[in-house]
Structure 1
Amino acid sequence: MARPRSISDERLLAAAATVIGRVGPGFTLAQVAAEADVAVGTPSQRFGSKTGLLQALSRHATGEVTGRMRARADAAQDAVAGLRAALAETYAGFGDAGTAANHLGQLGVDIGDPALRALLGEHYAAVKGELRLLADAAAPELPRAPEPERAARTLLAVVNGALLDWSIRPEGGLVERLTEDVDAVLSAWRGQEGQ
């Protein structure tokens, strides 16, 4: 009879995210094991390989991010504030610029792997789907916005670009930077340029 798991997948995935943020794409499963405070073979036993771990991490991150976006939007006072809060949440856990750069380095590696690239596509589609629903709800308050599908795509491009730029030239905090750039777009869509 197999022993029950005492180490959760979530614990290993959280350790992997932390190590990637610290080390970047050159991380090892041994570093993940050390971060999770488990036997060195545990990550490979659980996920099979580094690629298997990255696939599991991508699936997990998609659920985590979209859940946090929904929660932030639901707690907001109105539809535009909900859209704004959800966008700020997309990369809220990235911390400092070095951590963000290391995650972006891993993203570059992931894009080169067909299975990981497909999971990234699913991730961005899920995030864009959440944004589309929020943009649709906010449309009456944003008379100059494009239709919700294009609005979601545009806003996702804004936060992705802001993350990249901020990781290279970190001025202020990431969430503040994302919010500032999103506010510029939302103000224009409200018809309030220059405010």
Structure 2
Amino acid sequence: MTWSLPEPMLTVAVDSPALPTGWAAEPKWDGYRAQLAVHADRRVLLRSRQGTDMTASFPEIRTAALAQLPADTGLDGELVVWEQGGLAFERLQQRLARRGTGAAEAARQWPAHYVVFDLVHAGGELTGWPYEQRRAALEALFADQRLEAPLTLCPSTTDPAVARGWLEWTAAGLEGLCFKRLDEPYLRGARLWRK
């Protein structure tokens, strides 16, 4: 059965960093938004928010996806590069244009991590599920498959105090917070998440 990744759900800026009741908060990373798919034929696709294929630029993510993820899995997340205790967006930018041996060398110098914040496909389409259910399935995927770096589970909380504490991570490369309504499905291209 053929399937494709949904158009990414987007955010709209809000003035208050206070976590509303009925919503979850996640850190918003300084990286590249990307979706990752592993198809039944073990073909891997890592694509940007705009739909650009970035798979060849990040061979370590492709290798980890093949080794760790079950077939027919679709994820939404953020590509990041860590350097000296913080996120290095400029290193991530340098990685995009590289392919082949250049990409392999860049992966050794500045390895990327894929911080996963949503599960959009797992053998069947999940975008109609509410965030709370998708999040539980994502956490189960990480636990059951024993996923490890460079695949990383993004933290999520419904505790306003924890969310406020994450705002102190700005020195490490956190851009703020992303709020997702617990009962909200993944709506293709909709601007319903808040940042």
TM-score range, shorter chain: under 0.3
Instruction: Decide which structure has the larger Cα Rg and report it.
Output: 1
Structure (1 or 2) with the greater helix fraction: 1
Q: Does 1 or 2 have the higher relative contact order (CA < 8 Å, sep 6+)?
A: 2
